[in-house]
Amino acid sequence: MELKQLRGLGPARLALLQKAGIETLYDLLMVLPVRYRDTTRVTPIKEIEPGTFCCVQGKLKDAPKASYYGGKSRATATLIDASGSLSLVWFNQPWVAKSYAADQELLFSGIPERDRQGRLRMYSPKRETEQKLIPEYRSLAGMPSAVFAKLMAQALTMLEECCPETLPADLRLCYALCERNFALRQIHQPESREMLQIAQRRMAFEQLLLYQAALSILRGMPGNAEPLSIVEETGKRYWQSLPFPPTKAQSRVFEEIRADLGKNTAMRRMVQGDVGCGKTAIAFAAMYCCAQAGRQSALMAPTEILARQHLESAKKTLEPLGIHCGLLIGGMKTKERRASLEAIRTGDWQVVIGTHALLSEGVEYHQLSLVITDEQHRFGVEQRHKLSQKAAGGLEPHVLVMSATPIPRSLALILYGDLDISVVDELPPGRTPVKTHIVPESKREGLYDFIKKQAKEGWQTYIVCPLVEESEAIEAKSAQDVYAELCNGPLSSLRVGLTYGTQDAVEKDQTLTAFSQGELDVLVSTTVIEVGVNVPRATVMVIENADRFGLSQLHQLRGRVGRGAKESWCFLLAEPNERLKALCATNDGFVIARKDLELRGPGEFLGTAQHGQGAFSLLSGDGRLIAETQQCLKWLKEDPAQAEAWEMIQRSAQVLFRDQLRKTALN
């Protein structure tokens, strides 16, 4: 059914929805809330936990007061209840000062935080006028949230006509699942938390089951590939050329890859391992073998700086063995790009390293037989497919994907169901574990003294600020505020740089390059440095508001230091809690990943819950759903009595694959 049936949806707003991939009423109804504001539960002020959403109710001590500085405004007030008082702060909302009066009884929601002096405050609190579960959706630029909510309410009146059931009745009965339309109504307009949980379980089960079924279909369509004849001696020559012997895990995984390359069906393998386990050496081994077989390989990295670092490593490792390597990235000048394209087309470069530029039109490969993508979570099925189409002779290339994000195997089997999985579960000897400590606000000044001491000795520091959800502009401003504060205050004697997600690409590259070359002592950043920066002289990682990050992301950030032989540290600026203590207790990424999955659930663990779409947006902390859906899929495929049900699931999965799998938040 078409969106134009909705009232209040003119051409401009219709275009906004279509740009976001929402083209039908079905698409709109499948945009699930990213979170809910629960205004039914009021927290006494004395029981507030910093960093945790809550509702507070009380009287204003005085009318809000507005102050102005540097063209900006700030309104403040104090809310009082029977248990204590809480400071309320609104930035750039001067009208607030005239909106409320002293002694007025009000209900506010928000996330309380401690300021630099350790005082508890609620920034930009939202006034609530009713007590219920209120869905919140991902923001669409130019579309007010109130307008979007009204469009959703209209769409719900036509739910029966555009959202057919996807699961057979017997299956729903067997797994105690409610009907689909009941679930969608409760998700968009929950009657209670209990009803919402029933609805979320149904939709999470459906999405998991159909996603696995879609991958099962994809896996059942193996592509024809050219088998590469690679003798065992070839691999031995490569490993003997390195200054260190391979670990047992590296040797095992390489042999799995070598066996795959010899088959006439395309390899689809993911190599998963912790930071520093030697995945890149394995990838170069595969590329060396491919070149020895007279074929070309391509390695695609998520950032230009990481692509350049891979090229530098490849030249040191592969060129002494007679393998010519080259680079193709988006920021090249015309003459340089033309020369690169010619070297790729003629096969002068047996190894091509680059970014998404490797996928662009006009790039012709010379007998491309192996494709490697680095940091799998930054690329999806569609990107791999595009690069695969550039292989010669109508055959598919062998595909190897690498991920430094440790994922529990049960979850990895679902995420990468179209791939075989190899795990490098051993670190090379001699690596110095990063020491991780929780630093409360009261010890911040001592931390700055430590950073200055490290800089004096020639070592470098990252200071990472948390991503502020839904707004890149706020993210950048947050990093800029910390940068300005440090430059004008405690670290004014050091060379401090700044980078963030929306920064100009040239400026960002210049800043990262300056830091990697030792021209900066401190780099203030958002999580843009999580992937693609290798700075051996960086020994300190400071993470602001560490409690806002998932454990696995904290572990990834921690992996940016400790890349040389020097002792390194990671400091978590936050109040101690179970999650952060777990990170301090171990450097094993797989142990951390299991803990993260246990505490936050698959949806949050993968970062997909914040998107409100994708196959894992509704998964709760109950990891048993993974096992249940795997069991269900096996039952449907193997029990002849379920043939009709399996056909229905396959049809539904094909729709999911077409409309969603290629757009999943993992891309």
Per-residue pLDDT of 217-245, as tens digits, reads: 766 666 788 899 898 899 999 999 998 89
Place of tokens 């590939």: 225
Q: Last residue of some domain: 73, 105, 127?
A: 127
Of the candidates 56, 63, 55, the one whose C-alpha atom is nearest the C-alpha of residue 103 is 63
Give the helix/strand (H/E) hosting 55: strand 54-60
Task: Check pLDDT > 90 for residue 381.
Answer: no
Q: Last residue of some domain: 553, 586, 619?
A: 586
Which of 174-188, 244-258, 475-489 shows the lowest mean pLDDT across its residues? Answer: 475-489
The residue ranges of DSSP E strands in 257-348, in sequence order, are 268-273, 296-300, 325-328
d(CA 160, CA 317): 61
> What pLDDT was estimated at residue 258?
95
Of the candidates 352, 357, 349, the one whose C-alpha atom is nearest the C-alpha of residue 372 is 352
> Is 470 domain-assigned?
yes
d(CA 642, CA 633): 11
Task: Check pLDDT > 90 for residue 343.
Answer: yes
253 in the same domain as 323: yes
Alpha helix ranges (H) inside 83-241: 96-99, 145-156, 159-162, 169-174, 180-188, 193-219, 232-241
Residue 116: count other Cβ atoms within 10 Å of its Cβ.
Answer: 8
486 in the same domain as 568: yes
Under the banding of pLDDT at 50, 70 and 90, the label for residue 46 is very high
> Is 216 domain-assigned?
no
Alpha helix ranges (H) inside 488-562: 505-516, 551-558
Q: Last residue of some domain: 541, 571, 586?
A: 586
Q: What percent of the chain has pLDDT over 90?
A: 46
- What letter does residue 395 receive in the DSSP assignment? P
d(CA 430, CA 99): 62
Residue 61, phi then psi, degrees to nearest 5: -65, -45
Which of 275-279, 352-356, 508-512, 610-614 shows the lowest mean pLDDT across its residues? Answer: 610-614
d(CA 135, CA 37): 7
Q: What are 382's two structure tokens?
A: 């569609």
d(CA 390, CA 368): 7
Average pLDDT of the chain? 84
Distance of CA 530 to the CA centre of its chain: 10
d(CA 126, CA 121): 13
Under the banding of pLDDT at 50, 70 and 90, the label for residue 309 is confident
> Is 304 domain-assigned?
yes
159 in the same domain as 72: no
340 in the same domain as 290: yes
| DSSP β-ladder status, 105-110 and 126-127 | antiparallel
> What pLDDT was estimated at residue 474?
40
Which of 42-46, 185-189, 387-391, 568-572 shows the lowest mean pLDDT across its residues? Answer: 387-391
* Residue 599 buriedness (CB in 10 A; 0-12 / 13-18 / 19+): middle
- With H, G, I as helix, E, B as strand and everything else as coil, classify residue 658: helix
d(CA 662, CA 607): 17
Could you tell me the CATH number of the domain that includes residue 71? 2.40.50.140
352 in the same domain as 440: no
> Is 574 domain-assigned?
yes
> What pLDDT was estimated at residue 661?
44
321 in the same domain as 256: yes
Contacts of 578 (CB under 8 A, 6+ apart): 599
Q: Are 178 and 618 in contact (CB under 8 A)?
A: no
Alpha helix ranges (H) inside 100-179: 145-156, 159-162, 169-174
Identity of residue 80: I
Identity of residue 74: R
The CA R_g of the chain, rounded to the nearest whole Å, is 27
> Is 417 domain-assigned?
no
Say which residue, 547 or 186, is predicted with more confidence.
186
> What pLDDT was estimated at residue 658?
60
Could you tell me the CATH number of the domain that includes residue 149? 1.10.150
376 in the same domain as 287: yes
Query: Which residues make beta-bridge pairs with 524?
Result: 463, 498
Give CA separation, 117 vs 120, 161, 441, in Å.
Answer: 9, 56, 8
- The angle that helices 279-292 and 232-241 make with each other, rounded to 10 degrees, is 130
Mean pLDDT score, 506-532: 85
Please give the residue range of the domain that contains residue 542.
435-586
Give the helix/strand (H/E) hosting 335: helix 334-346
Under the banding of pLDDT at 50, 70 and 90, the label for residue 303 is confident
Contacts of 580 (CB under 8 A, 6+ apart): 438, 546, 547, 554, 572, 574
> Is 396 domain-assigned?
yes
Q: What are 307's two structure tokens?
A: 């692509």
> What pLDDT was estimated at residue 469?
39
Half-sphere exposure of 366 toward its Cβ, with a 13 Å CA cutoff?
17
DSSP assignment of 226-255: PPP---HHHHHHHHHHSSSPPPHHHHHHHH
Query: Which residues make beta-bridge pairs with 2?
Result: 24
> Is 461 domain-assigned?
yes
d(CA 343, CA 315): 16
Highest mean pLDDT of the ranges 332-336, 407-411, 501-505: 332-336
Of the candidates 336, 378, 325, the one whose C-alpha atom is nearest the C-alpha of residue 356 is 378
Half-sphere exposure of 216 toward its Cβ, with a 13 Å CA cutoff?
19
Place of tokens 């350790």: 118
Give the helix/strand (H/E) hosting 85: strand 84-91
> What pLDDT was estimated at residue 411?
66
324 in the same domain as 285: yes
Which of 113-127, 338-352, 646-660 shows the lowest mean pLDDT across its residues? Answer: 646-660
Vertex 217, ends 355 and 201: CA angle to 5°? Answer: 90
Which of 63-72, 306-315, 439-448, 526-535 shows the lowest mean pLDDT across its residues? Answer: 526-535
> Is 212 domain-assigned?
no
Which of 181-185, 200-204, 318-322, 388-392 shows the lowest mean pLDDT across its residues? Answer: 388-392
Mean pLDDT score, 391-409: 77
d(CA 605, CA 584): 18
Distance of CA 76 to the CA centre of its chain: 35
* Residues 552-567 as b or e (16 or more Cβ within 10 Å = b): bbbbbbbbbbbbbebe
* Residue 23 buriedness (CB in 10 A; 0-12 / 13-18 / 19+): middle
Of the candidates 459, 479, 466, 482, the one whose C-alpha atom is nearest the C-alpha of residue 540 is 459
- What letter does residue 124 receive in the DSSP assignment? S
d(CA 32, CA 68): 39
Residue 54, phi then psi, degrees to nearest 5: -155, 165
Contacts of 507 (CB under 8 A, 6+ apart): none
Q: Are 323 and 350 in contact (CB under 8 A)?
A: yes
Distance of CA 563 to the CA centre of its chain: 22
Which of 495-499, 505-509, 662-666 shows the lowest mean pLDDT across its residues? Answer: 662-666
The overall longest dimension of the chain from CA atoms, in Å, is: 83
257 in the same domain as 112: no
Instruction: Please tell me the total count of domains within the chain.
Output: 4
379 in the same domain as 284: yes
Half-sphere exposure of 509 toward its Cβ, with a 13 Å CA cutoff?
13
Q: What are 415's two structure tokens?
A: 């995420």
Task: Check pLDDT > 70 for residue 161.
Answer: yes
Q: What end-to-end distance do the CA atoms of the chain give, in Å?
A: 28
pTM: 0.68
Of the candidates 306, 245, 329, 228, the one whose C-alpha atom is nearest the C-alpha of residue 281 is 245
342 in the same domain as 318: yes
Residue 163: count other Cβ atoms within 10 Å of its Cβ.
Answer: 19
Distance of CA 225 to the CA centre of its chain: 31
551 in the same domain as 444: yes
Could you tell me the CATH number of the domain that includes residue 448? 3.40.50.300
Under the banding of pLDDT at 50, 70 and 90, the label for residue 606 is very low
